[in-house]
Amino acid sequence: CDKQDGKPPRQRLLVVANRLPVSAVRRGEDSWSLEISAGGLVSALLGVKEFEARWIGWAGVNVPDEVGQKALTEALAEKRCIPVFLDEEIVHQYYNGYCNNILWPLFHYLGLPQEDRLATTRSFQSQFAAYKKANQMFADVVNKHYEEGDVVWCHDYHLMFLPKCLKEHNRKMKVGWFLHTPFPSSEIHRTLPSRSELLRSVLAADLVGFHTYDYARHFVSACTRILGLEGTPEGVEDQGKLTRVAAFPIGIDSERFIRALKIPEVQVHIEELKERFKGRKVMLGVDRLDMIKGIPQKILAFEKFLEENPYWRDKVVLLQIAVPTRTDVPEYQKLTSQVHEIVGRINGRFGTLTTVPIHHLDRSLDFHALCALYAVTDVALVTSLRDGMNLVSYEFVACQDAKKGVLILSEFAGAAQSLGAGALLVNPWNITEVAKSIDRALNMEAEEREKRHRHNFLHVTTHTAQEWAETFVSELNDTVVEAELRIRQ
């Protein structure tokens, strides 16, 4: 535990996630420059009340030499981060392969890769072996830094094997695991060749958390149907050992967005954007360029809307920010070309010599530019085919207290369960329905917009990332203490 200026030592929280919240660039043999990502999730996890947090993860760079590793470890220590070093082959098999080509699409209902069966089986085996090896490497770093009384919180589908590795090493360690993606129906999960091993490993944790009650329910039924274990209202029971399973819906640091809108630089930017799009309604999409986000479906729905509503053709613009991601995975490369092709076709069809209906950007925006864009938007379009939560919808709502724009939200995003009453919910596969919702949103009366916005704004500002992190960690602490008491009785 860390001593703070003579105060009693605080309990430590070890956050373990595939990625550290930094981007590291090597400047010389033993020098690194680090940029810390300042998002709400990061500050929530590093700022859990009463806890002194450390973050363990991969720095996203290959550092084969000891000098470089030592220098990076020292630089990261100042930021309360501890690196796990993964070589290129492991990254290829574990991160690009098992995590992003197998688990990610499967958990989002896109199924397993459809290559040649034999090749698939072989790659399953070697990728799963790399996955387990990488998880063991994370466990080795946790074990090295663990001190009695620490709470260990493992994150996401990259680290499903970690709870088992940790508990095998130290049964007394308090281990929680949280999934940031959906957990699919047991009928989908059961197609995965390593289905049982992964479930058993997750069950080694003391507390297992999901964004929604439905994901928790799917996980419990996968354990009962695939492993034959008993599901209880509390979680899953295996030979007298209970693993608590519950929903912990994440939020954002809404104050950070609300504060940003008051900064003069952001206000200037807002005015510039208003001037730039004067006379036109602004529709906005902000997504990682990922197949789960339903970007082609969104753009096709916008095309259908323009096709059926000629009146709007020169009065509305769709700004689509598509942040490149996982660019080494072939599926993501294909998606980029597909989106470019559709955008080009629609702009060719409905553009004029001076304007185009879609502005598509293959890059991220800095925080202030993003806030300004959210603030001037009339209609935000979130058309995820599946999404764990989707915090873009939360960020949009946080920035809309002046304008009270409309949120069109996929019913397959976790956020539909919390923002459903304020948003227009759509099935993103139904292009006609989405096109109709665009029409409805653009024509919505101020009174209805106000009412819908109020509902969502209240939710977004009261269910924050901070509260999410604190609830999970305190429940994890209590779960372990209760279990110990039960054993002693």
CB of 104 to ligand G6P, least distance (A): 8
CB of 444 to ligand G6P, least distance (A): 30
Query: Which one, 156 or 395, has the nearer CB to ligand G6P?
Result: 156
Phi then psi for residue 149, to 5 deg, are: 95, -15
Determine the Cα angle at 38 with ends 32 and 44, to 5°: 120
Query: Which one, 156 or 206, has the nearer CB to ligand G6P?
Result: 156
For residue 211, state whether it binds ligand G6P (rule: CB under 6 A).
Answer: no
* Coil vs helix vs strand at 380: strand
CB of 156 to ligand G6P, least distance (A): 4
Query: Which one, 181 or 383, has the nearer CB to ligand G6P?
Result: 181
For residue 418, state whether it binds ligand G6P (rule: CB under 6 A).
Answer: no
- Pattern 9-48, binding to ligand G6P, x per CB under 6 A? ----------x-----------------------------
For residue 180, state whether it binds ligand G6P (rule: CB under 6 A).
Answer: yes
Q: How far, in Å, are 100, 227, 438 from residue 292 at the CA level? A: 12, 29, 21
Question: Residue 407 in contact with residue 283, Cβ under 8 Å?
Answer: no
**Given candidates 325, 336, 417, 427, which one binds ligand G6P under the rule CB under 6 A?**
325
Query: Which one, 168 or 362, has the nearer CB to ligand G6P?
Result: 362
Query: Which one, 58 or 350, has the nearer CB to ligand G6P?
Result: 58
Q: How far, in Å, are 15, 130, 254, 401, 408 from residue 41 at the CA level? A: 12, 28, 11, 22, 24
The pairing of strands 31-36 and 81-83 is unpaired
Q: What is the dihedral of CA 41, 47, 52, 58, to 10 degrees?
A: 20
Query: Which one, 135 or 181, has the nearer CB to ligand G6P?
Result: 181
Q: Which of 250, 124, 135 is nearest to 202 (CA)?
A: 135
Question: Residue 247 in contact with residue 389, Cβ under 8 Å?
Answer: no
Question: Residue 372 in contact with residue 403, Cβ under 8 Å?
Answer: no
Tokens standing for residue 168: 């095998």
For residue 181, state whether it binds ligand G6P (rule: CB under 6 A).
Answer: yes
For residue 326, state whether it binds ligand G6P (rule: CB under 6 A).
Answer: yes
Strand partners, 235: 232, 244
Query: Which one, 19 or 313, has the nearer CB to ligand G6P?
Result: 19
Strand partners, 55: 15, 81
**Given candidates 150, 156, 253, 287, which one binds ligand G6P under the rule CB under 6 A?**
156
CB of 380 to ligand G6P, least distance (A): 18
The gap between the terminal CA atoms of the chain, to the nearest Å, is 29
For residue 92, state whether it binds ligand G6P (rule: CB under 6 A).
Answer: no
Which position's Cβ is nearest ligand G6P? Answer: 180
For residue 287, state whether it binds ligand G6P (rule: CB under 6 A).
Answer: no
Which residues of the shown chain bind ligand G6P in the complex (CB under 6 A)?
A: 19, 156, 180-181, 325-326
